A and B are shown apart, each in its own frame.
Chain A
Amino acid sequence: MISGATATDYVRDPAAYRSALRSHLADHRAAYDRWRDLGAMPIEERIVLHGEMVHQLSAGGWNLIGWAEPVGLGGDIRHRAIFYDELVRAGLPLPDTGLLLETLGPVIERKAPELAAEILPAFVRGQEWWGQGFSEAEAGSDLAGLRSRARLEGDEYVVSGHKLWTSHGSTVNRILCLLRTGSQDERHRGLTMLMIDCDAPGVSRRPIALASGQNELAEFFFDDVRVPVSRRVGVEGGGWGVAMYLLQFERAMFAWECAVTALARLQSLAGEIRRSGRSHDRYAARFAEVYGDIITVRARSASTINRLAAGDTVGPEASVDKVALAGMEIALYDLARDVLGARFMLADDTKEWRDEWWYSRSATTLGGSSEIQRTILADHVLHLPKEATA
């Protein structure tokens, strides 16, 4: 375990943290071998394995740097960006649990510190993970139209309704839900954010398989679920603001994590071509484009991460990050599909690429569609005249 004095050094000097973590992963290579080259497996099994890897790293204190006390040992979002970078550099997977951790963790830390002290340490240590319950059948891009309700009774909310498209939904332990506490006409003003335990009475779920067969998503049903007021994140009626705060982290760190994984996958695809002995020439330009897309997402999200670490907030400009991220994902996995050709369609050993290709199709819709991002930029950055509405 990293000592208090060493932790203080790492908190002050992210570069020292990077080189210590790099040495640790090199010196103890065999201790992490079971997480290398996992290949295709059901996501429910993979996320459990990833949780175990995160837990082993936290026993040494490595991923506790980057989280403020009492959750971790101090440090900030830059340390976490380094953590993910170094894991993948050492040939380890970027943990599935880390994706939602980076969107939900900072939000409850900021908006519900007592709740964060209680439940976030287990998420950081890979012992549990959470999902996001925002979308509904009739509220996708138009999120402010959502209808699932929470009604305050004494010191508990009573929640009823239906949430859709929750990533990692088949295994999450808790779900952060955006719920209507006001009237339907209030739109985004009548919403409240609650953290709901998935084993609470009245919660049921159904996994949703993508066309790959992987249960990447799930839907949740809430039937008079009782949620203590202490599980509220932000104030009543302030749920929209919490969701908007959350999106900054999704644009920054989630994008960084995706770029880290994407670079490793591009490397792997280059290896496929080399092993096949085929000519490079016909693919060179597309490899360059995808590499350029990935490094651009790194550059853009690094800059956003540094702004968040300095305490700045990120406004509508964050839509630039999202557009770049979606373009990168689509381009990478389309390249993989084209390069692998018949093997992509037919071979057993390319299942991981197929799974990823299907999941990558969500890049232009999840977390705000590409159309929404372009509209945000047109409205709030370019200040074009408002769109004609019916």
Chain B
Amino acid sequence: MTTDATAALLEADELTDVRESLARVMADPDTDVDASLREMGWDEVFTLDPAATAAALFTAQGRALRQSNALGAIMLAELGEVLPTTHVTRVLAIPFAGGTLLPSIPAPPTEVVVPLATETGVELATLTGIDTTEIRGFDISGQWFQVRPEGAAETAIDAGPAWVTAVARGRVALADEILGCCETALTVAVEHVSARKQYGREIGRFQGVRHRLGESYAALEAGREMVTAARHAKTPAAAALAKFQAGRVQSLVLRHTMHVLGAMGITLEGSMHRHVTRAAVLDLLLGSHVDLANEIGNGVLASDALDTLIDV
């Protein structure tokens, strides 16, 4: 996989085909997303138009609440110059403030690349065979594995500036996935308030409910525009801001969509909790909105000339 800037870009109708294929991949909850992506020739599709196809993939994955190692794959594509070539399945453990997580364990033979923060940057350790612990925390309907990096430091190599590019790509992808997850949550909420009756009428006729969902939609669409702009801007700063905004959007949207479902919003048999917990874990990866707030805010406070990031 490469992300050659001169690669041919897909036409609108080709992109529509990609979106439809991805929706099919995500639709069946019993299939393995990584295997289905291999089957559809994802690596090649991605190479044709990395930015647009990644947006399609992660939006679809977010909408369907599915999981795969695709995030690591698009980040590894940026690290091709740094890592030695391999003949086995290679996955990237995605860092968060307290360690690294893998969304899926591939069949062996495999190697896991584990990023390790150093004082000056990031080193990448490659582990063969995977020692993981399954995490059962907030996102109980998902699966996440924490990688134990014991002994990893000895094999580590400096990731250099490629890591910054990889993180930027990953952050935009996560922002897309978070917004996809919010989008279906909003659809669930709209369907619920259009059907559920109290006082003899649908609760979606009450202004308090309508305004929560109108506000959610506004936040979601404004956030989507920020992510799209970051995709075009292709800068680490724009990607960080897009991820930050997506994290804020999930906090606002899911608070409202959960609320309008009443008690159903917080039960295990309802579906809303799955959106809430998935978006929360996705927010955590590569810097949560809480952590990014400090990083971005201190940058703003130190700057003599704030970056406009977006032009017409």
Which A residues form the contact surface with B (CB < 8 A)? Answer: 14, 78, 81-82, 85, 89, 256, 263, 266-267, 270, 273-274, 280-281, 283-289, 291-292, 295-300, 302-303, 305-306, 317, 319-321, 323-324, 371, 373-378, 381-388
Contacts and interface: CB of A to CB of B under 8 A. Distances in A.
A374 B214 contact: yes
27 contacts: A266-B306, A267-B305, A270-B300, A270-B301, A280-B297, A280-B302, A284-B293, A288-B244, A288-B293, A288-B295, A289-B297, A292-B241, A292-B248, A292-B296, A295-B229, A296-B225, A300-B221, A319-B218, A324-B222, A374-B215, A375-B207, A376-B214, A378-B210, A383-B190, A384-B190, A384-B210, A387-B205
Interface in B257-312: 290, 292-298, 300-303, 305-306, 308-312
Contacts of A284: 293-294, 297-298, 300-301
A283 B301 contact: yes
Contact of B309 (A288, A298, A375): A298
A264 B214 CA distance: 30
A43 B290 CA distance: 40
- For B205, B217, B295, B301, which residue has the most chain A Cβ atoms within 10 angstroms? B301
B293 A267 contact: no
A321 B292 CA distance: 24
A284 B211 CA distance: 30
Interface string B200-240: 01101111001101110111011101101100000000000
A273 B294 CA distance: 16
B205 A296 contact: no
B55 to A, nearest CB: 15
B292 to A, nearest CB: 7
B33 to A, nearest CB: 29
Contacts of B202: 385
B214 A291 contact: no
Top 3 A-B pairs ranked by shortest CB distance?
A284-B297, A374-B214, A288-B297
Interface of B: 186, 190, 193-194, 201-202, 204-207, 210-211, 213-215, 217-219, 221-223, 225-226, 228-229, 241, 244-245, 248, 290, 292-298, 300-303, 305-306, 308-312
A323 B300 contact: no
Overall SS of chain B's interface = helix
B211 to A, nearest CB: 4
Contacts of B290: 285
Nearest to A324: B222
B210 A292 contact: no
A283 B296 CA distance: 11
Given A266-B306, A287-B301, A320-B222, A378 B211 contact: yes
Given A78-B312, A267-B305, A287 B297 contact: yes
A100 B219 CA distance: 27
A303 B233 CA distance: 13
A296 B249 CA distance: 12
Contacts of A291: 241, 296-297, 300, 306
B191 to A, nearest CB: 10
Contacts of B214: 319, 323, 373-378, 382
B301 A273 contact: yes
Contact of A14 (B225, B244, B297, B312): B312
A57 to B, nearest CB: 19
A353 B245 CA distance: 26
A263 B307 CA distance: 9
A298 B210 contact: no
A310 to B, nearest CB: 12
B178 to A, nearest CB: 14
Nearest to A381: B217
